[in-house]
Amino acid sequence: MASVVIVGAQWGDEGKGKIVDLLTQYADAVVRFQGGNNAGHTIVLKGEKFVFHLIPSGILYKNKKCIIGNGVVVDPTVLIEEIDELKKRGYFKDDSQLLVSEEAHLILPYHRRIDVAREKVFKIGTTGRGIGPAYEDKVARCGIRMVDLLDEKVFRKKLEDNLIQKNLYLVEVLKERSFGFSEIFNEYVQHKMRLEKYVKDTSRFLHEEIRKGKQILFEGAQGALLDVDHGTYPYVTASNTVAGNASAGSGIGPTQIDSVIGVAKAYTTRVGEGPFPTELKDELGERIRERGGEYGATTGRPRRCGWFDAVVVNHSIRINGIQEIAMTKLDVLDDFDKIKICTGYRSYGKIFHHVPSNLELLKSSEPIYEEWNGWKTQIKGGRRFSDLPPNAQRYIRRIEELIHAKIAMVSVGEERNEIIELKNPFKEVDRRTIRVSRKPRSARKVKKPKK
Ligand code: GDP
Ligand code: IMO
Ligand code: MG
């Protein structure tokens, strides 16, 4: 039995899609447990690029189950587009590969319109996909779930009730256009016909799989600093992005989770508004953006770029319980003379080494840097740690020291096979479990009390 959670350790876009795709070879099922189509997870396979917004990044393998858990908010239009695109490209031939939780909440057209309209005031820099408003309805208990869509009578009633309030809010408060009942109802009944075959009790399915000893990979979306509780609030997304939510967002208990791997870029990026201490607003930032292709996989927006921030990744390690880091995009730093690592912040004459909850303090924080020599060599072809140039090895080892965690894998290119020290995380879990169970408490040496 083994379950491994993969989460973003920065502000999203760390390369989770690539790592999940790579590790799916060792898994039986891949589960998305939060977020929605604000996510854009990229996989490059033999030069062919795929971007997934809702479907888990394990879908390119035949015979691996892909589950959209109850914690995800689903825009049916986007899901159908993704299914069609995959089938057109010769993938996802077996419909039983995909399961969508009947408890997952729907994104409706009014959620998108509210999201976009509210941006004019609140300026979070959201993706405009209706994610926040859909989660708000879930918590307000007026959301509409997949299972509600399957029952036309229930769907009709819930949509009618919602539209009374949503139209009032749209027209009177946001000064936007209202929605007619039939336009949404008819569209969503069509969606239901396309999607009903995938809608299942995914909590029970997963429970059974785990009971049978199957290996489950949980695919986080966004990143720790975008977590609604532990991120840079209010410049965050609307769900808990941390590993703890893999349990609630998929309907299995926390005791079923064995291991957490964080994905972090060798530098830092952020899309949207909000504080970002190591942001480089100069030519260096521009160089990282161009070399790293740092443009949003969902919205195409240029990503803000900066140096690696060990304070941020330390924060992620703590709130996620990350045991190991997969570092991505080290190759992007190949041609820099000097590379900096942020080791702490300075604000109002004080030095600190944690991400403060007080946003004003974070906004005023100046990064404290260490400077390291670059390696000025192409590292793309390496597959073992020893293949890396000494300066790249030093950079990784120094970061490990600062974050107090092992960098177990290093990605050096966008292709699936461009990885250093690939290993089966499920095997590691098994070994760890065995090691622990072979050393029972009673076997430890205990000092005998003096007579
Ligand atoms: P995600 O949201 O965390 O899955 O990440 P995105 O897909 O939004 O962004 C990561 C981008 O970096 C994608 O374009 C990937 O193809 C690319 N990528 C991932 N790993 C590497 C790597 O090691 N090197 C390079 N050069 N690109 C990578
Ligand atoms: P993946 O899974 C990077 C950001 C948005 C915005 C904030 C709130 O690809 O890493 P939302 O639409 O969620 O209400 O926007 O969160 N954001 C992401 N940034 N990667 C993502 O996903 C993101 N999903 C949301 O840019 O700042
Ligand atoms: Mg992304």
Ligand 1 centroid from CA 21, angstroms: 12
- Look at 431 and 109; give whichever has higher pLDDT: 109
Cα separations in angstroms, 223 against 1, 240, 268, 304: 26, 9, 12, 15
What token pair was written down for 127?
Answer: 């993706």
Mean pLDDT of the chain: 94
Neighbours of 23 (CB within 10 A): 26
Q: Give the pLDDT confidence score for residue 438 in this predicted structure.
A: 40
Phi, psi for 341 (deg, rounded to 5) = -125, 130
Ligand 3 centroid from CA 175, angstroms: 32
Ligand 2 centroid from CA 227, angstroms: 10
Cα separations in angstroms, 366 against 13, 284, 443: 24, 17, 50
Q: Give the pLDDT confidence score for residue 233 in this predicted structure.
A: 97
For the residues 378-407, what does the mean pLDDT come to? Answer: 96
For the segment 356-366, what is each residue's pLDDT rounded down to a tens digit?
999 999 999 99
For the segment 168-198, what is each residue's pLDDT rounded down to a tens digit?
999 999 999 999 999 999 999 999 999 999 9
From CA 41, how far away is CA 20, in angstroms rounded?
Answer: 9
- Give the active site residue among 21, 28, 41, 315: 41
Q: Give the pLDDT confidence score for residue 297 in this predicted structure.
A: 79
The answer, yes or no, to whether residue 444 has pLDDT greater than 60, is: no
Tell me the CB-side half-sphere exposure of residue 383, using CA atoms within 13 A.
5
The answer, yes or no, to whether residue 432 has pLDDT greater than 50, is: no
Beta strand spans in 11-139 (E)? 29-32, 41-45, 48-52, 65-68, 73-74, 98-101, 105-106
pTM above 0.85, yes or no: yes
From CA 411, how far away is CA 19, in angstroms rounded?
Answer: 8
In this structure, the residue with its CA closest to atom 20 of ligand 1 is 414
From CA 404, how far away is CA 410, in angstroms rounded?
Answer: 17
Could you tell me which of 270, 310, 198, 187 has the C-alpha nearest to residue 179?
187
387 is catalytic: no
Q: Give the pLDDT confidence score for residue 220 in this predicted structure.
A: 98
Confidence class for position 422, pLDDT limits 50, 70, 90: confident
From CA 286, how far away is CA 294, in angstroms rounded?
Answer: 9
315 is catalytic: no
